């Protein structure tokens, strides 16, 4: 167990290092923080902190920098979440209001988050797993081709082509549309399969093929679209660290293009509350020298998706966490209103 003062020293090291981006020494620490002790004492504390693995020296005659473990302790026990200023809150509101479209909401969110945190922002599209069906529309495009349009309560629209085994009558299609909607509208995606299970049986034999084809496509869409999409922005912010890591930027950009990686990363985050993953806590190799701050957001009580930022492990955690949380809340509100 570390004494109170040693924790204070660690906090000071993290804060200074985040600010200056340079290894911090004992003398500088005592000058910039009112620790009430001399540099020599701080040196002893630093030696202990280093033994415990919270800080490290890049080379022998240099100051200390926090390790991943040090940052972890910092965010868990030393850092609060810094609330945004009034001006920032107003900026969020101005920026988010006037979004017309789901795409627009996500797009604005990602730009906003990138701008506030000056880091790379990642926003997952609202998930469909907990979404409900608002409407299913069927359109005959040609005698044996039907377009299926699925509209969700989060404002998302998905369309699929259905090739039917035989010609489809307009009345039969209207019938199917009506019966299908009466069963699934307002229901959760996860409930849909069993709700429509016995639907084909209630149709005439010669139309069952069509009904089955349509249902198959619908279920497929529900499953496929559960695989989430996401939007990223603010990649230019990576270059702020290019003098530190000219080499590190490439794997990060590559990882950002692999949506699978990011989705997995967001998926690992807790459903509620904020999750911070630091450096090597991230499984993906290219992101080993970055940290991810993620949080769920949603229109109601439940989180429907996640959003967050990716930045260097040396980031302003309290500020970043504050921004991420505030943005998530706002997006939730916007989604709830629409």
Applying CB under 7 A, the residues found at the interface with DNA are: 5, 23-28, 36-41, 43-44, 46-47, 50, 57, 59-64
Task: Please report whether residue 311 would count as binding a copy of itself according to CB under 8 A.
Answer: no
Measured between alpha carbons, how far is 60 from 77 in angstroms, rounded to an integer?
29
Task: Please report whether residue 186 would count as binding a copy of itself according to CB under 8 A.
Answer: no
Measured between alpha carbons, how far is 3 from 218 in angstroms, rounded to an integer?
60
Phi, psi dihedral angles at 131 (to 5 degrees)? -75, 165
Annotate each residue in 236-255 with x if it binds a copy of itself (CB under 8 A) or - if it does not, as one string: x-xx--xx--x--xx--xx-
Binder of residue 46, out of a copy of itself, DNA, none (CB less than 5 to 8 A by kind): DNA
Contacts with a copy of itself by CB under 8 A: the residue count is: 26
Q: Closer CB to DNA, residue 33 or residue 160?
A: 33
Q: Closer CB to DNA, residue 312 or residue 332?
A: 312
**Is 153:136 a contact under the CB 8 Å cutoff?**
no
Among residues 151, 172, 195, 230, the one that binds a copy of itself under rule CB under 8 A: 151
Task: Please report whether residue 147 would count as binding a copy of itself according to CB under 8 A.
Answer: yes
Q: Closer CB to a copy of itself, residue 80 or residue 143?
A: 143
Annotate each residue in 46-65 with x if it binds a copy of itself (CB under 8 A) or - if it does not, as one string: --------------------
Task: Please report whether residue 141 would count as binding a copy of itself according to CB under 8 A.
Answer: yes
**Is 67:56 a contact under the CB 8 Å cutoff?**
yes
Please provide the DSSP assignment of 219-236 as one string.
Answer: HHHHHHTTS--EEEE-GG
In our burial notation (b when 16+ CB lie closer than 10 A, e otherwise), range 215-239 reads bebbeebbeebeebebbbbbbebbe
Q: Give the Cα-Cα-Cα angle 97, 262, 254 (nearest 5 degrees).
A: 110
Among residues 5, 82, 134, 188, the one that binds a copy of itself under rule CB under 8 A: 134
Find the farthest-apart pair of alpha carbons in the chain and give their distance in angstroms, rounded: 90
**Is 210:109 a contact under the CB 8 Å cutoff?**
no
Contacting positions for a copy of itself (CB under 8 A): 134-135, 137, 139, 141, 147, 149, 151, 155, 157, 159, 233-236, 238-239, 242-243, 246, 249-250, 253-254, 256-257
């Amino acid at each position: 167990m570390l004494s109170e003062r040693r924790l204070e020293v660690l906090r000071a090291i993290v804060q200074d290092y985040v600010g200056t981006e340079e290894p911090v020494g004992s003398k500088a620490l005592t000058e910039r923080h009112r620790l009430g002790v001399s540099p020599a004492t701080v040196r002893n504390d630093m030696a202990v902190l280093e033994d415990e693995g919270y800080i490290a020296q890049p080379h022998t005659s240099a100051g200390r920098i926090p390790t991943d473990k040090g940052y972890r302790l910092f965010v868990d026990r030393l850092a609060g979440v810094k609330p945004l200023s009034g001006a920032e809150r107003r900026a969020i509101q101005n920026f988010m209001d006037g979004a017309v479209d789901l795409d627009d909401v996500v797009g604005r969110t990602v730009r906003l988050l990138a701008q506030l945190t000056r880091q790379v922002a990642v926003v997952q599209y609202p998930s469909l797993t907990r979404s409900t069906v608002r409407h299913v529309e069927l359109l005959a495009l040609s005698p044996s081709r039907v377009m299926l349009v699925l509209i969700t309560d989060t404002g998302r629209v998905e369309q699929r082509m259905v090739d039917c085994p035989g010609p489809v009558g307009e009345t039969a299609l209207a019938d199917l549309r009506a019966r299908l909607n009466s069963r699934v509208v307002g229901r959760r995606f996860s409930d849909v399969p069993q709700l429509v299970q016995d639907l084909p049986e209630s149709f005439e034999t010669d139309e069952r093929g069509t009904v089955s084809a349509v249902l198959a496509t619908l279920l497929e869409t529900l499953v496929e679209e559960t695989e989430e999409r996401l939007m990223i922005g603010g990649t230019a912010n990576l270059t702020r660290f290019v003098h530190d890591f000219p080499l590190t930027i490439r794997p990060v950009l590559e990882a950002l293009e692999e949506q699978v990686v990011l989705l997995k990363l967001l998926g690992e985050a807790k459903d509620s509350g904020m999750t911070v993953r630091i450096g090597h806590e991230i499984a993906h190799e290219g992101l080993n020298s970055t940290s991810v701050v993620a949080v769920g957001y949603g229109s109601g009580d439940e989180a429907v998706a996640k959003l967050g930022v990716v930045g260097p492990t040396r980031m302003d955690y309290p500020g970043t966490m504050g921004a991420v949380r505030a943005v998530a809340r706002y997006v939730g509100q916007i989604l709830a209103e629409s």
